[in-house]
């Protein structure tokens, strides 16, 4: 995850690229237990909900073990599979730093884990969201390339002043993406797979709109960071996502400069609607 704008420099104790040691040997047993609790309840329910690429990655990395995974161990497998690695950072990092890591096939992950009373919701991404949520997909060769290309695209968008548009692409794919597969609708977004409640809501609840992925549509759509999404965008495969994002965004960015934003619950002409949501959850006040 990234924060906003360019960096002034890393916080004390961090390296120039903002990385820190994971300090794996400093986790307490209580912290390992939080991981195990979260892992067990998510892994069990994601069968038939998360896409095959995610489930395969989860198995390949063997993220269960006895608790919070040691990045050094994950990285051996990840390097072998796709050449990616996970690096620890102190929290949100500036956009340019974030993109530089992705462009070099490094995924910046939080080192801390949520407290036992925060199992279901927390504001800042912790190691469970970052590692359980994001890293399995990085074992898929096509998704691995997409994430690197996103990092390069981020550096370009930052220079062109179109980061707000590109950030929506990340949000609605990497974080909250759904995939239409022959077996049914599946989750690949890290923000969903790392949340017990949203793993059910995103697939089964009648409230949100579910719309076929369209690049320009996505880049015009606002998102909310405080509650379940009111719209999910559905890709056909990682391959097709990769193909539509490979093209040069130059002309698209020019169009977007004059385009109006689309609200989170809005439907617009041309939408390939899979589910027309009732928005009942949001109308009832959502999480409140
Ligand atoms: N094709 C995009 C560009 O020209 C870069 C990009 C690739 C962005 C993949 C996101 C994902 O800017
Ligand atoms: Fe994330």
Instruction: State the pLDDT at residue 3.
Output: 53
Instruction: State the pLDDT at residue 124.
Output: 87
Ligand 1 neighbourhood includes 20 CB (under 6 angstroms): no
Instruction: State the pLDDT at residue 123.
Output: 80
Convert 134-164 to b/e letters by CB count within 10 Å (16 or more is b).
bbbbbbbebbbbbbbebbebbbbbbeeebbe
Ligand 1 neighbourhood includes 245 CB (under 6 angstroms): yes
Ligand 1 pocket test, pick from 143, 145, 149 with the greatest ligand atom count within 8 Å of Cβ, gives: 149
Ligand 1 neighbourhood includes 248 CB (under 6 angstroms): yes
Instruction: State the pLDDT at residue 287.
Output: 87
Selecting from 3.60.10.10, 1.10.800.10, 3.40.50.970, 1.20.140.10, what CATH number does the domain 28-283 have? Answer: 1.10.800.10
Ligand 1 neighbourhood includes 176 CB (under 6 angstroms): no
Ligand 1 neighbourhood includes 143 CB (under 6 angstroms): no
Which atom of ligand 1 approaches the CA of 248 most closely?
4
| φ and ψ of 164, to 5 deg | -60, -40
**pLDDT tens-digit profile of 185-240?**
999 999 999 999 999 999 999 999 999 999 999 999 999 999 999 999 999 999 99
Centroid of ligand 2 to alpha carbon of 160 (angstroms): 24
Closest Cα partner for 201 from 178, 224, 170? 178
Closest Cα partner for 219 from 269, 279, 157? 157
Ligand 1 neighbourhood includes 156 CB (under 6 angstroms): yes
Centroid of ligand 1 to alpha carbon of 216 (angstroms): 12
Which atom of ligand 1 approaches the CA of 146 most closely?
9
Instruction: State the pLDDT at residue 1.
Output: 44
Which atom of ligand 1 approaches the CA of 156 most closely?
12
Q: Which ligand is nearest to the CA of 225?
A: 2
Q: Which ligand is nearest to the CA of 92?
A: 2
Which atom of ligand 1 approaches the CA of 152 most closely?
5
The residues of the chain scoring below 50 in pLDDT are 1
Angle (CA) 102 106 108, round 5°: 85
Domain ranges in the chain? Answer: 28-283
Instruction: State the pLDDT at residue 288.
Output: 74
């Amino acid at each position: 995850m990234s924060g906003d704008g360019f960096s002034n420099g890393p916080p004390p104790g961090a390296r120039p690229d903002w990385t820190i040691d994971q300090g794996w040997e400093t986790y307490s047993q209580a912290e390992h237990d939080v991981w195990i609790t979260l892992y067990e309840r998510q892994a069990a329910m994601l069968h038939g909900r998360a896409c095959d690429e995610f489930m395969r990655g989860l198995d390949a990395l063997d993220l269960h073990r006895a608790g919070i995974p040691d990045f050094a161990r994950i990285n051996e497998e990840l390097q072998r599979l796709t050449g990616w690695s996970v690096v620890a950072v102190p929290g949100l990092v500036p956009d340019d730093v974030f993109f530089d890591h992705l462009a070099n096939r490094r995924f910046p992950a939080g080192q801390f884990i949520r407290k036992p009373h925060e199992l279901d919701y927390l504001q800042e991404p912790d190691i469970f969201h970052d590692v359980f949520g994001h890293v399995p997909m990085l074992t898929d060769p096509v998704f691995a390339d997409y994430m690197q290309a996103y990092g390069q695209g981020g550096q370009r968008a930052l220079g062109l002043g179109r980061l707000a548009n590109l950030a929506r692409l990340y949000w609605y794919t990497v974080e909250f993406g759904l995939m239409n597969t022959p077996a049914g609708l599946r989750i690949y977004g890290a923000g969903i797979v790392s949340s017990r409640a949203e793993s059910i809501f995103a697939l089964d609840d009648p409230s949100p709109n579910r719309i076929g992925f369209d690049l320009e549509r996505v880049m015009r759509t606002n998102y909310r960071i405080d509650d379940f999404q009111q719209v999910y965008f559905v890709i056909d495969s990682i391959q097709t996502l990769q193909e539509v994002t490979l093209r040069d965004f130059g002309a698209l960015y020019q169009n977007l400069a004059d385009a109006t934003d689309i609200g989170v619950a809005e439907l617009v002409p041309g939408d390939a609607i899979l589910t027309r949501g009732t928005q009942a959850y949001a109308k009832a006040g959502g999480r409140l």
